Amino acid sequence: MSITELAAQERTAAGHFDFSRAEWAALRQSTPMTLTAEELTDLQGLNEALSVEEIEEVYLPLSRLLNLYVVATQGLHHVANDFLGREPVKSPYVIGIAGSVAVGKSTTARVLRALLSRWENHLQVALVTTDGFLYPNAVLRERNLMDRKGFPESYDVRRLIRFLDEITSGHSDVEVPKYSHLVYDVLPDVERISTPDILIVEGLNVLQSWTGRTEDAPSRFVADFLDFTIYLDADHDLIRQWYVDRFLTLRRTAFRDPASYFHKYSRLSLREARKTALDIWDRINSPNLAHNIAPTRSRAHLVLQKGPDHRVDRVRLRKL
């Protein structure tokens, strides 16, 4: 056995495959995909900092793997229904994306939605973010939780589980609450969706089993409804930097809107704005990452490990 083979065997021994970026990117080669240059540019439009190389080397192989899993799972449902002699009920393949605030969950979710819906089987992909299931600010204030937004106890987990139960049972017009980062609160209006082929659920808490409040404890966990889970990981100092960078961008853009909850921050000097962002990070998002989010990483089927500039440099895939 060659040294490379031995090293590869050792890396897979712990119940998962561990790929370098080059190894992961090579998985795409065996099954080439046809995306036009125009489609690639379109995808890049989702986030101008996202490189075409990143889409090709990381997200295309991932969408290929997910597409195979979706098709195989649909096949399993089909044979199970045949066995039971039941009419098939449409049920989505549910993908969960977890990770810290500012690690890139929304961007990854949007890229995957775009890629998965481009496969030749024309899958219909819906995207739901768990921030809509946060308690409204009025409730958070009453419970003294305004500085705990994103912590387990700040979410109405029962409502999230009810939503997942309905959508995976094939109900139509299922209510999805919406969160606005502009007003920093849950909106009074809801969106309604009907069973898609794939549902992507993105949020800090999708791999958590603890609600933080005994009285809110549901009898099922969010993870019970997820077919495949992805954890986005990076060095915590890098994530803090991405949080601050996003805050500084928002200070020049969205915070300028007088309707923005953070409008007052648009008038801060660069130095003051940086200080404010670091303060929010240190008081709220960093402890939440350390205590409630990072410990859920080992539950994920796939971990994307990012380095500087959001470049994925390692991929860990759990063996089936």
> What residues form the annotated binding site?
99-106
> Whose Cβ is closer to ligand ADP: residue 28's or residue 105's?
105
Please count the residues of this chain forming the interface with ligand PAZ, following the rule CB under 6 A: 11
Tokens of 314: 């390692």
CA 289 to chain centre: 14
CA proximity to 198, closest of 69, 43, 46, 310? 69
> Whose Cβ is closer to ligand PAZ: residue 101's or residue 303's?
101
> Beta 125-129 vs 228-234: how paired, if at all?
unpaired
Give residues 124-143 in contact with ligand PAZ (rule: CB under 6 A).
129, 131
> Beta 312-318 vs 16-20: how paired, if at all?
antiparallel
CA proximity to 280, closest of 102, 23, 37, 25? 102
Q: Kindly write out the interface string for residues 145-184 of this chain, putting x where it contacts ligand PAZ by CB under 6 A and - elsewhere.
A: ----xx----------------------------------
Q: How many whole angstroms separate alpha carbon 288 and alpha carbon 285?
A: 5
> Whose Cβ is closer to ligand ADP: residue 43's or residue 226's?
43
> Whose Cβ is closer to ligand ADP: residue 70's or residue 102's?
102
Q: Strand ranges (DSSP E) for the chain?
A: 16-20, 93-99, 125-129, 174-180, 185-193, 198-202, 228-234, 302-306, 312-318
Cβ-in-10-Å burial (0-12, 13-18, 19+) of 48 comes to: exposed
Least distance from ligand ADP to the Cβ atom of residue 73, Å:
26
Taking CB under 6 A as the rule, does residue 109 contact ligand PAZ? Answer: no
DSSP string, 270-316: HHHHHHHHHHHIIIIIHHHIIIIIGGGGGG-SEEEEE-GGG-EEEEE
Q: Which residue has the tokens 């387990």?
A: 152
Least distance from ligand ADP to the Cβ atom of residue 213, Å:
24
Give residues 11-70 in contact with ligand ADP (rule: CB under 6 A).
47, 49-50, 54
Least distance from ligand ADP to the Cβ atom of residue 99, Å:
6
Near ligand ADP by CB under 6 A: residue from 44, 73, 91, 107: 107
Taking CB under 6 A as the rule, does residue 203 contact ligand PAZ? Answer: yes
Taking CB under 6 A as the rule, does residue 206 contact ligand ADP? Answer: no
Q: Kindly write out the interface string for residues 269-308 of this chain, putting x where it contacts ligand PAZ by CB under 6 A and - elsewhere.
A: -----------x---xx-----------------------
Using CB under 6 A, list all residues that contact ligand ADP.
47, 49-50, 54, 99, 101-107, 242, 246, 310
Site residues for ligand PAZ per CB under 6 A: 101, 105, 129, 131, 149-150, 203-204, 280, 284-285
